[in-house]
Each structure stands twice: as structure tokens, then as C-alpha cells.
């Protein structure tokens, strides 16, 4: 039990939003295609754009790696840098239920108007709430709250890391 590693994918949880978006370009292409003498490229462009967008979204996700030295968050979006939090910078860490919409404005990478709260969340309402020594709060979404909680207990017992389990 040397590390906790969790990979989450946007497309897995949000497919019901992205899949219907493919039908709009297909409908446009069919509509264009029914017109006389329409070049094939005009039919293919909307479909290719939709497939490209869904392909990019399917590559997005989040990986969380936690060990005895640090918490690492790799939120796979172009504008979000990897985040590393050393345990020595942590005042408290605990797994808890939270409200993504009301507390952080939704899912994804969320940095609200308050600069002291940040969330990294793909899906769900369970996360690791990390309070830093400067009282900033970082919420890291997880689909494996029970396993993460067990790992935090392990870190607390073996390394004396300040976690609330």
C-alpha cells in the first residue's frame, strides 16, 4: 500500500452530454447533403469537427497520486498545470461529501471568486478536502472515497501525517 492512484475520465461520466452533440452535425450534414450538387467536403466537415471535439474530450480526465510525501493532481486540461502538495504544507486532509454546484460552481477545474478555494472534480460528490497551512482549501474529487479514507488512515498510522479519517 505504497501509493493511492486514481484515474478518472470525463467522457466516461459525461457521455450522455457529448454523444447527443454528435447528432447535430450529422443532421446538418444530412440537410446539406440533400441539396443538389453539394460537395462531399461540406457534408464531412461538420461530422469531422464533432468527432474531433468528442475525441479531445475523451482524452481529458484527472489522475490523483498520493504517497507518504505528497499529493499529485494531474487534471488533463490544456490550461491547468499539474499540482503537487507536500504533506508538510497540509494542515488537515479528510475525505468528505460536498456539493459541487453550490460550493464550487460545478465540476471540472473550479477556482471561484474566493482565491482560497479550488476544486478538481470530474464527477460525483465525494472528495479529499485538503486544508493547507495558509488556510487555502483544495477539493480533489474521488470515486473511491472508502479506499482513499483507508489509505489516509494508513498514512496517519505509518508516517504520522495529519489526516482526519
As a whole number, mean pLDDT of residues 81-102 equals 94
Q: Tell me the domain boundaries of the chain.
A: 8-62+87-165
- Residue 70: the pLDDT is 96
Q: How far apart are the C-alpha atoms of 125 and 145, rounded to whole Å?
A: 10
Least confident of 26-35, 93-102, 155-164: 26-35
* Distance of alpha carbon 140 from alpha carbon 33, whole angstroms: 46
Kindly give, in sequence order, each residue whose CB lies less than 8 Å from that of residue 154, ignoring residues fewer than 6 positions away: 1
Do 130 and 119 contact (CB within 8 A), yes or no?
no
**Under 8 Å between Cβ of 66 and 72:** yes
159 or 93: which leads in pLDDT: 93
Q: Phi and psi (nearest 5°) for 92? A: -155, 145
Pull the grid cell for residue 163: 489526516
For residues 36-64, average pLDDT = 79
Task: Give the residue among 1, 26, 14 at the shortest CA–CA distance from 157.
Answer: 1
Using DSSP's 3-state secondary structure scheme, residue 54 falls into helix
2-21 per-position pLDDT tens digit: 899 999 987 665 566 666 76
Amino acid at each position: 500500500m505504497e501509493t493511492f492512484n486514481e484515474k478518472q475520465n470525463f467522457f466516461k461520466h459525461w457521455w450522455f452530454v457529448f454523444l447527443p452533440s454528435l447528432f447535430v452535425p450529422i443532421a446538418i450534414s444530412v440537410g446539406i447533403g440533400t441539396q443538389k450538387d453539394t460537395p462531399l467536403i461540406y457534408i464531412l466537415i461538420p461530422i469531422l469537427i464533432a468527432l474531433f471535439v468528442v475525441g479531445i474530450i475523451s482524452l481529458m480526465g484527472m489522475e490523483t497520486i498520493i504517497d507518504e510525501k505528497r499529493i499529485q493532481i494531474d487534471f488533463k486540461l490544456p490550461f491547468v498545470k499539474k499540482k503537487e502538495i507536500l504533506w508538510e504544507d497540509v494542515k488537515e486532509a479528510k475525505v468528505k461529501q460536498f456539493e459541487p454546484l453550490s460550493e464550487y460552481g460545478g465540476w471540472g477545474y473550479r477556482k471561484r471568486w474566493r482565491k482560497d478555494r479550488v476544486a478538481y472534480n470530474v464527477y460525483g460528490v465525494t472528495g479529499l478536502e485538503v486544508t493547507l497551512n495558509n488556510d487555502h482549501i483544495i477539493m480533489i474529487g474521488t470515486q473511491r472515497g472508502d479506499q482513499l479514507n483507508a489509505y489516509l488512515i494508513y498514512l496517519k498510522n505509518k508516517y504520522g501525517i495529519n489526516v482526519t479519517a
